[in-house]
Amino acid sequence: MRTHTSIAGRRPSGRRHPLATVALITIGLLTTGGAYALLSTSATAESTAASQQSITEGQKVFAANCASCHGLSAMGTDKGPSLYGVGASSVDFQMGTGRMPLAFQGPQGAEKPLQFTQEQIDAVADYIASLAPGPAIPDEKWLKGDGDIALGGQLFRTNCAMCHNVAGAGGALTEGKFAPSLAGVEARHIYEAMETGPQNMPVFSDLNLSPQDKADIISFLKYQQEHSSVGGVDLGGLGPVAEGLFIWIFGLGAIVGVTIWITARPN
Amino acid sequence: MVQKDGEKAAGSDVATTTPRDVSIGTAVVPSGAFENPGLLPHRPRATDLDPKTEKTAERRVGGLFLFSVVASLFAVVAYVIFPIVPGDMDSVRLNNLFLGVGISLALLAIGLGSIYWAKNLMKGGEWTEPRHPTRGREETRAAAVEVFKLGNEESGFGRRTLIRNSLIGALVVSPLPAVVMFRDLAPAADPVALLRTTLWDKNVRLTRDPSGTPIKASDVTIGSVFHVIPENLEDAEHKLEEKAKAAVLLMRLKPEDLHISPERSDWNYQGIVAYSKICTHVGCPVALAEQHTHHLLCPCHQSQFDISHEAKVIFGPAKRALPQLPITVDSQGYLVARSDFHEPVGPSFWERS
């Protein structure tokens, strides 16, 4: 950025360097974006309890962005389900991971860049939570990753691993649906997904996996992602096909190469 | 170099044939038949011609061997620098990694150096080593026959028929213990009886896997999936075998989504259904449940079962629906089995009717 402006300054004529406009826009965007980020983070810190103002704000965002599928009163239409009773947790997951609003109707809503600020998401969550009781946004104490890793691993392998892969690498489901990779997913979103069962994932309510169980699973995933595989490079943990392909191409390739070299005539 | 004539070692005769002009049967004259091009003319190597190149090659081989020494020492040093700290798995990884890299580089460098040496510096030249015929020489064959004859004569094997026949009999019978032993590895009892029954029975509670806590019907919210084991699994003698047969997936659907045949009308409890988790194809655990489509996917061979239609097969190689476990609630509101499965769980087997 600095180089752009300095190049523009060196020009004696009145004409601006073609990149000057780009630089100017970048500076402008960074300033407004930075100021906005500052403002929005301070706003999140303030709004912890659902205020009437937040609910009204959420209703506005909802009416403008979500009502075309979920209906103006969130009762659902033939394009989208009713949101009564899904709770703040569900809203925070779906909008907080960018899955909602959907880009298009398809087998599964994909993760994409966030469409809203956390403030707006919280407002919509407050609005949806005010319609009917549902799971709330999880308490921070379950998300710290200090639970029982061994038990968490056992629970993960029993309840989650068949779809999300033992290494949490994700896997395919039917008709274009898939279980996403769990690498780098925030602890809060993992908890919310278990609690609400987004899209075709089953629900693992607190009556099935208690909050402590969920905290253990999160601890296990966190441990697994932070510690490298003891056996060396894990090749994404995708299982025998990926590993077999690797050894067929690189292992056998190396053997063939060395064999050719051994038998080739020297110069 | 070329084999010298007159000094033929035993078994080194070369059988020669003249190739046919006409192939057998088809009588088509082969065109473009492969001709033996013979030995290519000797081409001296760069190291044979140029003493400087020879010196470089020599240095390379020496360098590789010296590198091997360095790598071996590196392995020793790394083993000391990165010790295995008990309880720290990352230290195991580093220890193994550097030790392995050092040892393999050391051995690889010895191998590469030896081959480079042989290819570039050892005496060079081409020669043909003919394949020797498989038939032995006449005198060798005659000697072999003589040995057999002598053996027969001296032992009296052909003469003493009692000894010969009893020996043959003993050898024939000797594998018999192995046959009995291997047969006994198979289930001694009728496999139908073994596979038809599981730990499930009337009033056996459904419990969570792995904690073994019982499940109330009210715990199972709509869209939930529970991985279930029978409560008496903990006391079972062969725990893993029993778990492999009795594993169950518990799901709750909206009652209007369930399409139930009349004879199974009381097998679910308010939309809560329980199905065997063992695929009817080859027995993988079928547990990839989709909340809204109510499909169950088997990860091994992509068989799909539709839970809303009594787990019937809708895709893939499985032939039979997953067996359903009839359930109800007891007086305390806990889910219990009504009975065992009504058919053997898991893949088909020979005696399954």
Of the three residues B164, B185, B206, the one that is the final residue of a domain is B185
Are both A187 and A128 inside the same structural domain?
Answer: no
Distance of CA A216 to the CA centre of its chain: 20
Encode pLDDT of A113-154 as tens digits. 888 999 999 999 999 999 988 899 999 999 988 999 999 999
Do A216 and A151 touch, CB atoms closer than 8 A? yes
Closest CA to B316 of B326, B331, B306: B306
Are both B346 and B206 inside the same structural domain?
Answer: yes
Are both A65 and A55 inside the same structural domain?
Answer: yes
On whether residue A17 sits in a domain, the answer given is: no
3-state secondary structure B55-90: HHHHHHHHHHHHHHHHHHHHHHHHHHHCCCCCCCHH
Are both B100 and B218 inside the same structural domain?
Answer: no
Are both A146 and A226 inside the same structural domain?
Answer: yes
Of the three residues A105, A136, A167, the one that is the final residue of a domain is A136
Are both A103 and A91 inside the same structural domain?
Answer: yes
Residues linked to residue B353 through DSSP beta bridges, in sequence order: none
Domain of B200, CATH number, reads: 2.102.10.10
- For chain A positions 203-222, those within 8 Å of chain B (CB to CB) are 203-205, 207-208
pLDDT for res A1: 40
Question: Smallest Cβ distance to B291: which of A174, A175, A203?
Answer: A203
A171 touches B at CB < 8 Å:
yes
Are both B162 and B213 inside the same structural domain?
Answer: no
| B244-283 burial: b if 16+ Cβ within 10 Å, else e | bbbbbbbbbbeeeebebeeeeeebbbebbbbbbbbbbbee
Are both A132 and A147 inside the same structural domain?
Answer: no
For B317, residues 6+ apart whose C-beta sits below 8 A from its C-beta are: B281, B301, B303
On whether residue B258 sits in a domain, the answer given is: yes
On whether residue A11 sits in a domain, the answer given is: no
Closest Cα in chain B, distance from residue A103 (Å): 20
Identify which has the larger pLDDT, B308 or B130.
B308
Are both B51 and B163 inside the same structural domain?
Answer: yes
Per DSSP, helices labelled H in chain A are 2-10, 18-46, 52-65, 67-70, 87-96, 118-131, 149-159, 161-164, 187-196, 211-226, 240-246, 252-263
Are both B258 and B307 inside the same structural domain?
Answer: yes
The two counts, helices (H) then strands (E), for chain B are 8, 11
Are both A77 and A109 inside the same structural domain?
Answer: yes
Identify which has the larger pLDDT, A149 or A106.
A149
DSSP-derived 3-state class of residue B337 = strand
Distance of CA B45 to the CA centre of its chain: 47
Residues linked to residue B328 through DSSP beta bridges, in sequence order: B336
Q: Is the pLDDT of residue A162 over 60?
A: yes
- Chain A nearest-CA residue for B247: A158
pLDDT for res B23: 56
Identify which has the larger pLDDT, B31 or B269.
B269
Are both B212 and B268 inside the same structural domain?
Answer: yes
pLDDT for res B144: 95
Are both A132 and A142 inside the same structural domain?
Answer: no
Say how far apart CA A6 and CA A10 lie, in whole Å. 6
On whether residue B29 sits in a domain, the answer given is: no
Encode pLDDT of B319-338 as tens digits. 999 999 999 999 999 999 99
pLDDT for res B3: 44
Do A62 and A124 touch, CB atoms closer than 8 A? yes
State whether B288 and A207 contact (CB < 8 Å): no
Complex ipTM value: 0.72
Closest Cα in chain A, distance from residue B262 (Å): 28
Give A175's contacts in chain B (Cβ within 8 Å). Answer: 293
State whether A204 and B225 contact (CB < 8 Å): yes
On whether residue A222 sits in a domain, the answer given is: yes
Are both A71 and A155 inside the same structural domain?
Answer: no
Are both A65 and A147 inside the same structural domain?
Answer: no
- For chain A positions 58-97, those within 8 Å of chain B (CB to CB) are none
Give B226's contacts in chain A (Cβ within 8 Å). Answer: 208
Distance of CA B117 to the CA centre of its chain: 40
On whether residue B5 sits in a domain, the answer given is: no
On whether residue A187 sits in a domain, the answer given is: yes
State whether A202 and B225 contact (CB < 8 Å): yes
Of the three residues B166, B185, B204, the one that is the final residue of a domain is B185
pLDDT for res A47: 42
Beta strands in B73-181 (DSSP E): none
Of the three residues A117, A136, A155, the one that is the final residue of a domain is A136
Residue A251 per-residue DSSP state: I
Domain of A171, CATH number, reads: 1.10.760.10
On whether residue B170 sits in a domain, the answer given is: yes
Residue B40 per-residue DSSP state: P
pLDDT for res B18: 62
Closest CA to B68 of B122, B104, B115, B116: B104
Q: What percentage of chain B exceeds 90 in pLDDT?
A: 60
State whether A200 and B89 contact (CB < 8 Å): no
pLDDT for res A89: 92
Residue B148 Cα distances to B134, B143, B144, B158, angstroms:
20, 9, 6, 11
Count of Cβ atoms closer than 10 Å to residue A120 Cβ: 19
Are both B165 and B221 inside the same structural domain?
Answer: no
Encode pLDDT of A228-253 as tens digits. 777 777 887 887 888 899 999 999 99
Domain count, chain B: 2
B241 burial class (0-12, 13-18, 19+ CB within 10 angstroms)? exposed
Residue A256 Cα distances to A238, A248, A252, B113, angstroms:
26, 11, 6, 18
Encode pLDDT of B93-127 as tens digits. 889 999 999 999 999 999 999 999 999 999 888 88
For B167, residues 6+ apart whose C-beta sits below 8 A from its C-beta are: none
pLDDT for res A3: 44
On whether residue B3 sits in a domain, the answer given is: no
Q: Which whole number is the average pLDDT over B154-181?
A: 94
On whether residue B257 sits in a domain, the answer given is: yes
State whether A174 and B299 contact (CB < 8 Å): no
Pick the range with the lowest mean pLDDT from A9-13, A133-137, A151-155, A214-218. A9-13
Q: Is the pLDDT of residue A101 over 50?
A: yes
Residue B344 has phi, psi (to 5 degrees) of -65, 140
A202 touches B at CB < 8 Å:
yes
pLDDT for res A43: 41
pLDDT for res B351: 78
Count of Cβ atoms closer than 10 Å to residue A129 Cβ: 24
- Chain A nearest-CA residue for B288: A163
Of the three residues B185, B205, B234, the one that is the final residue of a domain is B185
Q: What percentage of chain B exceeds 70 in pLDDT?
A: 90
Are both A129 and A51 inside the same structural domain?
Answer: yes
Say how far apart CA B59 and CA B331 lie, in whole Å. 88
pLDDT for res A195: 92
Do B290 and A174 touch, CB atoms closer than 8 A? yes
Say how far apart CA A180 and CA A228 lie, in whole Å. 20
Are both B347 and B201 inside the same structural domain?
Answer: yes
Say how far apart CA B298 and CA B304 lie, in whole Å. 6
Domain count, chain A: 2
The β-bridge relationship of strands B304-306 and B295-297 is antiparallel
Say how far apart CA A158 and CA A156 lie, in whole Å. 5
On whether residue A92 sits in a domain, the answer given is: yes
pLDDT for res B272: 94
Are both B227 and B162 inside the same structural domain?
Answer: no
State whether A204 and B47 contact (CB < 8 Å): no
pLDDT for res A4: 47
On whether residue A121 sits in a domain, the answer given is: yes
On whether residue A191 sits in a domain, the answer given is: yes
Q: Which whole number is the average pLDDT over A78-99?
A: 90
Identify which has the larger pLDDT, A165 or A266.
A165
pLDDT for res A42: 43
For A98, residues 6+ apart whose C-beta sits below 8 A from its C-beta are: A111, A112, A113, A114, A115
Residue carrying the six token digits 């006409």: B22
On whether residue A36 sits in a domain, the answer given is: no
DSSP-derived 3-state class of residue B311 = coil
Largest CA distance in chain A: 85
Are both B217 and B243 inside the same structural domain?
Answer: yes
On whether residue B33 sits in a domain, the answer given is: no
Are both B115 and B198 inside the same structural domain?
Answer: no
- Chain A nearest-CA residue for B219: A207
Question: What domain range includes position A66?
Answer: 42-136
On whether residue B38 sits in a domain, the answer given is: no
Are both A119 and A148 inside the same structural domain?
Answer: no
Are both B230 and B164 inside the same structural domain?
Answer: no
Of the three residues A73, A101, A136, the one that is the final residue of a domain is A136
Residue A244 Cα distances to A247, A249, B276, angstroms:
5, 9, 32
Q: Is the pLDDT of residue A220 over 80?
A: yes
pLDDT for res A16: 63
Closest Cα in chain A, distance from residue B260 (Å): 22
Question: What domain range includes position B218?
Answer: 193-352
